[in-house]
Amino acid sequence: MAMKQRKVKIGIIDSGAPESYVAESRLFSLSDTGIHISQGEKDVLGHGASVHQIIAEGAAGVALLHAQVFKERPTTTAAQVAAAVEWLCQNQVDLICMSLGLTQNREVLAKACQKAAGQDIVLIASTAAQGPASFPAAYDHVIAATGDARCTYDEISILPGPVKSVFGAWCASPEQPSHHLMIRGASAACARLVAHVAQFLKQTPLTYHEVIAELEKIATYQGREYKSSSI
């Protein structure tokens, strides 16, 4: 008899949801008094909808809830992302996908992510494998994800990052083409890594460190790809 799988609930902090998910989503915008939370709006960029598609295809049967932190332009603030994390904590998600990165560390975001981690919510955020740190991916309790052109759809890698190890994943690169997605690189890789982790969580609840251990077990590549020069 097949073991019954857990129902995994995933929060997506991004540009919005596919049309059929908008009603349950929330928009986090800046106001004169702080963060205003309202009904989610149409995803005009298509970034969040593409993240949704990658997760849904890679981890069928999960529940997806969207927190919209940007609309026409792919920019947001630490305060908006922090408020979105808080809302997803209240909605008792198991996993949070943040296919985004901020250049500055802000206490409000650090505290929100720490609170989520304290509730054993697994957080995954995108980052560049090289260059300056990106937040929230750089936090100790957040799993950092980036694109790795070597990785096929089912593969992951472990790469040295600016602060800690980064997990590489399929990223819809020319080497490993996508179906018809609007996103590439670290954004796609973050969503794909979330789908990998969701498959673990379907079997049993896991802490941050337990998820890291499971990812290390299945990693196909260790370290960056080095190409020899030809003469």
pLDDT band at residue 178, thresholds of 50, 70 and 90? low
Please state, in angstroms and as integers, the Cα–Cα distance from residue 181 to each residue in 50, 178, 190, 206, 222, following that order. Answer: 6, 6, 14, 30, 27
Is 52 within a domain?
yes
Is 4 within a domain?
no
Residue span of the structural domain in which 192 resides: 9-222
With tokens 């598609």, the residue in question is: 53
Residue 181: what pLDDT?
61
Is 229 within a domain?
no
Is 231 within a domain?
no
- Give the whole-number percent of the chain exceeding pLDDT 90: 80
Closest to 195 (Cα-Cα) out of 221, 173, 220, 167: 167
pLDDT tens, position by position, 109-163 = 999 999 999 999 999 999 987 888 899 999 999 999 999 999 999 999 999 887 7
Q: What is the CATH number of the domain that holds 108?
A: 3.40.50.200
Q: How many domains does the chain have?
A: 1
Average pLDDT of 76-92? 98
Residue 132: what pLDDT?
87
Which tokens is 208 given? 């941050």
User: In Å, how far from its chain's centre is CA 1?
Assistant: 33
Average pLDDT of 197-218? 96
User: In Å, how far from its chain's centre is CA 153?
Assistant: 16
Is 178 within a domain?
yes
Average pLDDT of 158-172? 89
Is 23 within a domain?
yes
Strand-pairing partners, residue 67, are 13, 26
Is 2 within a domain?
no
Residue 130: what pLDDT?
81
Residue 228: what pLDDT?
43
Is 173 within a domain?
yes
Instruction: Say what the pTM is.
Output: 0.93
Asked if residue 15 lies in contact with residue 71, where contact means CB atoms within 8 angstroms, the answer is yes
